[in-house]
Every structure is written in structure tokens, then in C-alpha cells.
């Protein structure tokens, strides 16, 4: 009778308490009890939960870092444009007046010099870097690029039949934001690639239509999604 009472008491405690329980089996000769331990805690679930939390935290950190980089880039572009009094289109016009040819790129230096660097290719494919003051539009000098590696000829070939030049591309993209960089993108269908303080744009060589660069648009969508 005593043994049955002990077993019934232990079973009830196991059902009510859960977790780790200890059961005692008492022999007929009332010798020392034998302890059997059962651990019903699921450690794997706890480990998986901790791992998922660490991954989520790492993803959030990476997203925050990407947003910070984008914000810094945007602020830097805005500072460059604010310091420039001469637009990209005007800098290109000044460079071509000094060094006749075909403008294939224009970039506003970010080294504090406040100068536009306009890349001009002559009919024979020779490549020149023309520096134009972003303060007053004065040409500061022109230098032939000895390391063009036929880039000039390739640029002229890509622009064959084009109706929109670099100056017109800069003007088209200026409606989207102040222009800081104009470049000929011949990776795939040739187009003008124009960077503004508000994003990057592709300008069609024939129509002059400006559309937001796909990579820039995807990045903007990702940022907007993160903000939701």
C-alpha cells in the first residue's frame, strides 16, 4: 500500500509540474530508492531562436549601413553642386570652344578644387582632358591623355548616328536634379549616364529622354521598403 501511494504521488507531480521530474521506485524490501531523471526541455528550439535573432540583427545592421552610405553620397553630391556656379552643360560648351571635338564625359571634381573635367575626343581619336573652372567657366588648361588605348575611337563609334550630345544630355537630366557627372555608357545599348544630386539617369542618344538608372531605382525601392 505504501508503495502504491508513493508512485501515485510522483506521477501526479510529473503531470502538474512538467519539466524535469524525478521518479522513485521503492523496492519490496524498502531498500534505498533508485532515481530516474527525464529532461523534457527542448534545447534545439532555444538555439534556433537565438540564431534567428542574431541573423535578423546582422541584416538590420547591414541595411542601416547601406542607408548611411547612400545618405553620405547624396550629401556629398549636394555639396559639390552647391559649390559650383557653372553647370555641366556650360562647362562642356566652354571646353568645346577651347578644344573642338566631341565631348564624351564631364565630371565635377570632388577634391575641393571646384573644377569641371571635360573629356573631349578629336576626329582622329585623340583624347583631351579640359579643365573648366566651376566658378566662372574659364578654361584652366587642356592636356592630351596619352593612355587612351583607343578609347576615343571607341567612344566616337558608339556615338555614330546619335542625335543627343553630352551637353544636351546634361540639360535633359538637369530637370531631375543638379548634374554632377556626365559619361558615355557603352556597356550594352549606348546611352548617356548622368549623375545628379537626386539620383542617376540614362539619357537616350536619339530621343534625349531621361529615365532613372535601373540599379539606382532598385536601390531606392529597397530603401523605401526598409522604411515601411
Alpha-carbon separation of residue 4 from 20, 25, 62, 112 (angstroms)? 22, 10, 62, 92
Q: Using pLDDT thresholds of 50, 70 and 90, give the confidence band for residue 217.
A: low
Cα torsion at 65, 69, 75, 79 (round to 10°)? 140
Q: How far apart are CA 121 and CA 147, in angstroms?
A: 13
Q: Using pLDDT thresholds of 50, 70 and 90, give the confidence band for residue 110.
A: confident
Q: End-to-end alpha-carbon separation of the chain, Å?
A: 68
Pick the range with the lowest mean pLDDT from 61-65, 114-118, 176-180. 61-65
Note whether 133 and 113 are within 8 A (CB). Answer: no
Most confident of 73-77, 82-86, 175-179: 175-179
pLDDT in the model for residue 13: 43
Q: Is the pLDDT of residue 74 over 70?
A: no
Q: How far apart are CA 116 and CA 28, in angstroms?
A: 101
DSSP 147: T
Three-state SS at 182: strand
Residues in the chain: 228
| Sheet arrangement for strand 210-212 | 139-144, 127-133, 115-121, 102-108, 179-185, 191-196, 199-203, 210-212
Instruction: Name the more confident of 7 and 124.
Output: 124
Q: Is the pLDDT of residue 32 over 50?
A: no
Query: Which residues, listed in sequence order, are joined to residue 132 by a DSSP beta bridge?
Result: 116, 139
Q: What is the mean pLDDT of the chain?
A: 75
Q: Is the pLDDT of residue 44 over 90?
A: no
Three-state SS at 93: helix
Note whether 77 and 69 are within 8 A (CB). Answer: no
Q: Using pLDDT thresholds of 50, 70 and 90, give the confidence band for residue 205.
A: very high
CATH topology of domain 82-227: Nuclear Transport Factor 2; Chain: A, (3.10.450)
Q: Using pLDDT thresholds of 50, 70 and 90, give the confidence band for residue 140.
A: very high
pLDDT in the model for residue 50: 59
Helix (H) or strand (E) holding 60: helix 43-83
> Where are the chain's structural domains?
2-38, 82-227
Q: Which residue has the cell 592630351?
A: 144
Amino acid at each position: 500500500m505504501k508503495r502504491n501511494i508513493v508512485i501515485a504521488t510522483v506521477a501526479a507531480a510529473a503531470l502538474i509540474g512538467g519539466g524535469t521530474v524525478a521518479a522513485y521506485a521503492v523496492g519490496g524490501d524498502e531498500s534505498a530508492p533508485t532515481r530516474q531523471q527525464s529532461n523534457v526541455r527542448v534545447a534545439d528550439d532555444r538555439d534556433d531562436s537565438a540564431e534567428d535573432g542574431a541573423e535578423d540583427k546582422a541584416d538590420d545592421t547591414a541595411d542601416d549601413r547601406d542607408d548611411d552610405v547612400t545618405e553620405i553620397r547624396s550629401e556629398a553630391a549636394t555639396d559639390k553642386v552647391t559649390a559650383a556656379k557653372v553647370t555641366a552643360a556650360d562647362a562642356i560648351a566652354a571646353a568645346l570652344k577651347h578644344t573642338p571635338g566631341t565631348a564624351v564625359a564631364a565630371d565635377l571634381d570632388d577634391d575641393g578644387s571646384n573644377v569641371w573635367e571635360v573629356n573631349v575626343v578629336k576626329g582622329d581619336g585623340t583624347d583631351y582632358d579640359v579643365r573648366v573652372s566651376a566658378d566662372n567657366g574659364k578654361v584652366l588648361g587642356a592636356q592630351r591623355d596619352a593612355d587612351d588605348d583607343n578609347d576615343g575611337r571607341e567612344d566616337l563609334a558608339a556615338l555614330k548616328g546619335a542625335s543627343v550630345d553630352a551637353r544636351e544630355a546634361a540639360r535633359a537630366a538637369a530637370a531631375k536634379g543638379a548634374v554632377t557627372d556626365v559619361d558615355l555608357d557603352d556597356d550594352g545599348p549606348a546611352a548617356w549616364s548622368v549623375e545628379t544630386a537626386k539620383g542617376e539617369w540614362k539619357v537616350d542618344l536619339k530621343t534625349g529622354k531621361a529615365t532613372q538608372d535601373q540599379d539606382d531605382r532598385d536601390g531606392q525601392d529597397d530603401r523605401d521598403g526598409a522604411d515601411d
